[in-house]
Structure formats: structure tokens, C-alpha cells
Amino acid sequence: MSGDPADRFPRRREGFLYQEVSDGGVLFDPAADKVYVLNPSAAFIWNSLDGSRSPEEIARELREALGSDTPDLETLRRDVDRSLIDFGRQGLIES
């Protein structure tokens, strides 16, 4: 992933199989025969990567979804950025 994640509207790559589970999600890449286990926040972020939201918008939506026991927006934004960097390094999102 090149550039600052804040400048992008990230989109997940096609071709993955995703299954929501009680504590997050499981992502399977049939082309690479690889499984990724996502914690609840990463699963929320993954499901938000449709190319229509900025990282800032995703962080705001994550904050709303978490309800009253939520970290501040700045912390969530860092979590979103870290997830995007990790997804990018693993080739899970379009560059």
C-alpha cells in the first residue's frame, strides 16, 4: 500500500471467502490456500472496505458500533490505519 492511508478510500480485494464468527471473522484466500483470523475490530474494518469510506469514516462507524465502551476516536483511527497497513502488506486490499 503506497501513500498515507488517510488519502485513500480502501477496497478489499475480491475472491476471498469470509465467515463471521462470535469473536471476529475468518477470511480464506482460496488462490493462496491461506486463512486469516480477524479480531472483532479487524472484522468490522474488513467489512467496511468497499471503496466508499475513508479511514476516518471507518473509525467513526467503528466507534458507533462499539457503543459506550469505546476508545476515543484518535485511538480507533490508529487501529484502522494499522489494520489497513497490515491488510496491505498481506495483499488483502487493492493498492
- pLDDT at position 2, please? 46
From first to last of its 95 residues, the chain has per-residue pLDDT tens of: 445 554 589 999 999 999 999 999 999 999 999 999 999 999 999 999 999 999 999 999 999 998 877 888 999 999 999 999 999 999 999 86
Query: What was the pLDDT predicted at 76?
Result: 94
pTM over the 0.85 mark: yes
Q: Which domains does the chain have, with CATH numbers?
A: 10-89 (3.90.930)
Coil, strand or helix at 13: coil
CA 10 – CA 25 distance, rounded (Å): 19
pLDDT at 15: 95
